[in-house]
């Protein structure tokens, strides 16, 4: 197997060290390591992090290969510094059987760019009525541990309770897309002063918060694990903080776009800003950043949601919801969290690798950068400054809200079990 010596990178933003990768594992970490025939990557000034792990990715295959495939999505993931992604279940057909999750898992293995851990649907067809075969999905080759009806909320309290209870048998977790359906009928954007002015159906914060409040109570009651997808409001933060203070087994994620963008952008009626949950207010953005910094929010998850051009090149009401995010997530986190002083690079490693891997119980990812660990690594040049250009995306879709916006940082190398998937900023 080949050897690679990464020379002089700041490991987790700390001391500049050499890291020797031998085959699939990290062989040594230290100062002045001997290259000894290894390919050398000069990484002075760069940050070395464990490969990023995304708990929330829409790869669209099977069913919507016009917007993304497992191959294009994992190439986008590698470009963004990810070595593992959790593929959401809202495909066509829905990933609600062992057969579909195994298919997605296998496509991920074949891609070779990034590990794909399928998420199983909680209910058959995401319809919220009947539990899917959660056990069979867990027992399959895909070893599913995270279950979600993402895109739809498990709004029936009894179904949610049963799902939480049932997955205890195999240490599973229910990842809830918290959206009370009746309160969000016809909802188009955050409910507030901007929606009132624009005449777009309001999506009240309480529609998210009421479900989270119920679900943390349910999780506590049955002694199970609940994970809250894409927290978007200050009130949601308060509820999760309270639940954690009780010692309940609650985790939460925030998307990069909710750390940066607000509903003021909707004034353009440009559907690139249409997303579920909707962009909220400045006060929410501030609360989310603080919660990610203090650990109330466990991790950043992209909610990478590719859509073909025509689904966004139309009027707001007709447009699809979602944004791509894999290739810009780390830059947005550097911009919103690192450069504001809220989080150091070790914190970034924690929120974008260690914790998401731990929540997903994902073996081999989210491990420390030390000898004997799997060589899932990413090198970041934090001094880079450049405008986002979606024409360069590896993703099949271009629906980024950052087109033309200057963001800091660039992934120069990504290693998946020792193999470079990205070298000098280019996919290998």
Q: How far is the CB of 284 from other proteins (least distance, A)?
A: 15
Among the listed residues 22, 115, 263, 303, the single catalytic one is 303
Q: Which does 150 bind (CB under 5 to 8 A by kind): other proteins, Zn ion, none?
A: Zn ion
Q: State residue 138 phi and psi, 5-degree precision.
A: -65, -40
Q: Which does 204 bind (CB under 5 to 8 A by kind): other proteins, Zn ion, none?
A: other proteins
Does the annotation flag 138 for ligand binding?
Answer: no
Q: How far is the CB of 211 from other proteins (least distance, A)?
A: 19
Q: How far is the CB of 306 from other proteins (least distance, A)?
A: 17
Q: State residue 157 phi and psi, 5-degree precision.
A: -65, -35
Instruction: Show the CA angle centred on residue 119, arms to residues 114 and 123, nearest 5°.
Output: 165
22 annotated active-site: no
Cβ–Cβ under 8 Å, residues 409 and 334? yes
Q: Among residues 266 and 301, whose Cβ is nearest to other proteins?
A: 266
Does the annotation flag 335 for ligand binding?
Answer: no
Among 150, 208, 215, 263, the residue binding Zn ion under the rule CB under 5 A is 150
Q: How far is the CB of 385 from Zn ion (least distance, A)?
A: 31
User: Can you tell me the distance from the alpha carbon of 120 to that of 41, in angstroms, rounded to the nearest whole number?
Assistant: 39
Q: Among residues 195 and 328, whose Cβ is nearest to other proteins?
A: 195
| Beta-sheet strands, E only, within 357-405 | 377-387
Q: Among residues 302 and 414, whose Cβ is nearest to Zn ion?
A: 302
Nearest of 52, 45, 19, 55 to residue 227 by alpha carbon: 55
| Beta-sheet strands, E only, within 291-337 | 299-300
Non-local (6+) Cβ contacts of 291 within 8 A are: 231, 237, 240, 241, 252, 254, 297
Q: How far is the CB of 315 from other proteins (least distance, A)?
A: 4
Binding-site size for Zn ion (CB under 5 A) equals: 3
User: Can you tell me the distance from the alpha carbon of 366 to that of 354, in angstroms, rounded to the nearest whole number?
Assistant: 4
Q: Which does 294 bind (CB under 5 to 8 A by kind): other proteins, Zn ion, none?
A: none
User: Can you tell me the distance from the alpha carbon of 114 to that of 72, in angstroms, rounded to the nearest whole number?
Assistant: 11
Residue 215 found at the interface with Zn ion (CB under 5 A):
no
Q: Which does 319 bind (CB under 5 to 8 A by kind): Zn ion, other proteins, none?
A: other proteins
**DSSP 8-state assignment for residue 334:** I
Q: Among residues 154 and 375, whose Cβ is nearest to Zn ion?
A: 154
Q: Among residues 42 and 156, whose Cβ is nearest to Zn ion?
A: 156
Cβ–Cβ under 8 Å, residues 50 and 364? no
Q: Among residues 270 and 344, whose Cβ is nearest to other proteins?
A: 270
What would you report as the CA-atom Rg of the chain, rounded to the nearest whole angstrom?
Answer: 20
Q: How far is the CB of 270 from other proteins (least distance, A)?
A: 8
What count of other Cβ atoms lies within 10 Å of the Cβ of residue 48?
Answer: 27
**DSSP three-state, residue 305:** coil
Binding site for other proteins (CB under 8 A): 188, 191-202, 204, 268-270, 310-311, 313-319
Residue with tokens 């985790």: 251
Among 138, 177, 227, 413, the residue binding Zn ion under the rule CB under 5 A is 177
Does the annotation flag 304 for ligand binding?
Answer: no
Cβ–Cβ under 8 Å, residues 258 and 237? no
Which residues are near Zn ion by CB under 5 A? 150, 177, 229
Can you say which residues are annotated as belonging to the binding site for Zn(2+)?
A: 56, 58, 150, 177, 230, 303
Catalytic residue annotation: 303
Can you say which residues are annotated as belonging to the binding site?
A: 56, 58-60, 90, 150, 177, 230, 276, 303, 307
């Amino acid at each position: 197997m080949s050897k690679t010596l990464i020379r002089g990178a700041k490991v987790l933003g700390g001391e500049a060290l050499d890291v020797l990768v031998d085959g699939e594992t990290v062989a040594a970490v230290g100062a002045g390591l001997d290259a000894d025939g290894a390919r050398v990557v000069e990484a002075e000034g760069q940050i070395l992090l464990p490969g990023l792990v995304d708990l929330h990715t829409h790869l669209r295959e099977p069913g919507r290969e016009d917007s993304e495939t497992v191959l294009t999505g994992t190439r986008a993931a590698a470009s963004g510094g990810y070595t593992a992604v959790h593929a959401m279940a809202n495909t066509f057909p829905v990933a609600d059987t062992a057969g579909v999750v195994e298919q997605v898992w296998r496509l991920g293995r074949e891609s070779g760019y990034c590990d794909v851990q399928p998420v199983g649907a909680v209910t058959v067809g995401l319809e919220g009525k009947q539990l899917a075969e959660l056990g069979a999905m867990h027992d399959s080759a895909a070893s599913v541990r995270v279950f979600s009806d993402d895109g739809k909320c498990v709004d029936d309290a009894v179904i949610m309770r049963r799902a939480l209870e049932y997955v205890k048998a195999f240490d599973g977790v229910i990842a809830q897309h918290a959206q009370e359906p009746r309160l969000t009928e016809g909802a188009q954007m955050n409910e507030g002063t901007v929606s009132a002015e624009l005449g777009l159906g309001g999506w009240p914060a309480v529609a998210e918060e009421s479900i989270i409040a119920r679900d943390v109570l349910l999780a506590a009651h049955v002694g199970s694990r609940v994970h809250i997808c894409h927290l978007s409001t200050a009130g949601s933060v308060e509820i999760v903080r309270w639940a954690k203070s009780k010692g309940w087994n609650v985790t939460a994620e925030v998307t990069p776009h909710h750390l940066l963008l607000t509903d003021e952008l909707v004034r353009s009626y440009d559907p690139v800003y249409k997303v579920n949950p909707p962009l909220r207010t400045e006060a929410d953005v501030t609360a989310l950043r603080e919660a990610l910094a203090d650990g109330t929010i466990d991790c950043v998850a992209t909610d990478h949601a590719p859509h073909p051009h025509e689904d966004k090149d139309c009027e707001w009401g007709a447009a699809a919801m979602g944004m791509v995010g894999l290739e810009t997530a780390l830059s947005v986190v550097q911009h919103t969290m690192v450069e504001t002083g809220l989080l150091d690079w070790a914190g970034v490693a924690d929120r974008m690798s260690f914790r998401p891997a731990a929540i997903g119980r994902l073996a081999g990812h989210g491990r420390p950068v030390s000898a004997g660990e799997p060589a899932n690594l990413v090198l970041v040049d934090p001094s880079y400054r450049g405008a986002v250009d979606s024409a360069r995306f590896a993703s099949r879709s271009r629906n980024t809200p950052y087109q033309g916006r200057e963001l800091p940082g660039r992934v120069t190398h990504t290693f998946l079990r020792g193999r470079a998937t990205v070298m000098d900023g280019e996919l290998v």
